[in-house]
């Protein structure tokens, strides 16, 4: 991660992102359980949940100087994808990739990780 990466005002995770930190994570859990857990974790971190749409698998939240959307989709037998979209208005501020990394690490401690991007994780 270089300086230019830290100055990003918008980041999104996806399977094929060049930076592994920003590649989609897949967990063995229901989307409902993950939404509930993330709601509590976000509040525990002092951030605010704006909206939860369980039907769409979306959770919108805000932090100091930035906002985010988490999308959770059950894709196949026991794998649920978790993606982040984060935005910051100012050029300087919170490191958005660090926020994503923090939440992915917390999710991995709570739920069994099945894949990162297109790579299956060995159990």
For every residue of 60-71, DSSP letters joined together read: EEEETTEEEEEE
How confident is the model at residue 90, as a pLDDT? 79
How confident is the model at residue 78, as a pLDDT? 80
How confident is the model at residue 89, as a pLDDT? 84
- Tokens for 13, please give them: 């995770």
Q: What is the mean pLDDT of residues 80-95?
A: 89
Q: Which residues pair with 25 in a beta bridge?
A: 82, 116
d(CA 76, CA 61): 27
pTM of the model as a whole = 0.91
How confident is the model at residue 2, as a pLDDT? 52
How confident is the model at residue 12, as a pLDDT? 96
Mean pLDDT in the chain? 91
């Amino acid at each position: 991660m270089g300086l230019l990466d830290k100055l990003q005002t918008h980041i999104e995770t996806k399977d094929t992102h060049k930076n592994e930190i920003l590649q989609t994570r897949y967990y063995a859990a229901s989307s409902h359980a993950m939404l509930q857990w993330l709601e509590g974790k976000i509040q525990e971190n002092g951030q605010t949940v704006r909206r939860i749409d369980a039907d769409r698998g979306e959770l919108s939240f805000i932090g100091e100087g930035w906002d985010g959307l988490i999308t959770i989709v059950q894709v196949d037998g026991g794998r649920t994808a978790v993606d982040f979209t984060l935005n910051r208005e100012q050029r300087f501020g919170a490191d958005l990739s660090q926020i994503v990394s923090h939440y992915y690490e917390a999710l991995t401690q709570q739920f069994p990780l099945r894949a990162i991007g297109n790579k299956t994780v060995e159990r």
